[in-house]
């Protein structure tokens, strides 16, 4: 599978089979996150693969009761410490975590898995459940697993509405 094929096959899935994810697949997914770039190569990420059913159940509450979080065999969580605002005005750690999660998500596609990026979660609750120290920002939560049905790509605006070569029209 090419990277673009993985990108094209990625869409949000919220129904998962109970089938566990094989250890070697999960290891490759985590490797993709581990090797992702970080601002100034500071590598402050902690990338979690939450497989424990009790922890996943607790994460459902932390994610506003989104039940599929508990049904997915693995919940990926990305957090990082020593956050700082870069010259561009953005949080370095939020970006580091988002990149790592995106890499993991694409490797999951390569492994035949799907998932759903979650922004509806309460970071303080996630922190408590996973013993994440207060100096860490909790940026991304993504349950992954084998989809119960394949699903389809959601609507995307025409490429020319999103992509700009050189500068925007006035």
For residue 59, the minimal CB distance to ligand FMN (Å) is: 12
Q: How far apart are CA 27 and CA 22, in angstroms?
A: 9
> Between residue 23 and residue 42, which ones bind ligand FMN under the rule CB under 6 A?
none
Per-residue mark of binding to ligand FMN, 91-130 (x: CB under 6 A): -------------------------xxxxx----------
Select 11 or 146, whichever has its Cβ closest to ligand FMN. 11
DSSP state of 39: G
Select 82 or 120, whichever has its Cβ closest to ligand FMN. 120
Q: In what order do the strands lie in the sheet with 45-50?
A: 45-50, 74-81, 136-145, 114-115
Q: Report which secondary-structure segment, H or E, holds 129.
A: helix 123-129
Select 14 or 127, whichever has its Cβ closest to ligand FMN. 14
Please pick, from the candidates 3, 7, 12, 52, the single residue that binds ligand FMN as defined by CB under 6 A: 12
Question: With the C-alpha atoms ordered 13, 71, 119, 103, is the resulting torsion angle positive or negative?
Answer: negative
Total of chain residues touching ligand FMN, rule CB under 6 A: 10
For residue 12, the minimal CB distance to ligand FMN (Å) is: 3
Q: How far apart are CA 21 and CA 51, in angstroms?
A: 9
54 three-state secondary structure: helix
For residue 14, the minimal CB distance to ligand FMN (Å) is: 6
Entry field: residues in the chain:
170
- Does the footprint of ligand FMN cover residue 154 (CB under 6 A)? yes
Q: How far apart are CA 56 and CA 67, in angstroms?
A: 10
> Between residue 39 and residue 78, which ones bind ligand FMN under the rule CB under 6 A?
66
Give the interface with ligand FMN as residue ranges (CB under 6 A): 11-12, 14, 66, 116-120, 154
């Amino acid at each position: 599978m090419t990277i673009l094929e993985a990108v094209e096959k990625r869409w949000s899935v919220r129904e998962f089979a109970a089938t566990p994810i094989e250890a070697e697949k999960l290891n490759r997914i985590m490797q993709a996150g581990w090797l992702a770039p970080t601002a100034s190569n500071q590598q402050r990420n902690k990338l979690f693969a939450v497989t424990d059913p009790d922890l996943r159940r607790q994460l459902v509450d932390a994610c506003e009761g989104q039940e599929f979080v508990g049904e997915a065999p693995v919940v990926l969580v990305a957090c990082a410490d020593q956050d700082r605002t870069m010259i561009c005005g953005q949080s370095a750690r939020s970006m580091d975590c988002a990149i790592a999660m995106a890499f993991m998500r694409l490797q999951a596609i390569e492994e035949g898995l799907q998932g759903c990026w979650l922004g509806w979660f309460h970071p303080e609750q996630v922190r408590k459940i996973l013993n994440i120290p207060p100096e860490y920002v909790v940026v991304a939560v993504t349950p992954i697993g084998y989809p119960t049905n394949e699903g389809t790509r959601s609507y995307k605006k025409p490429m020319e509405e999103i992509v700009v070569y050189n500068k925007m029209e006035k």
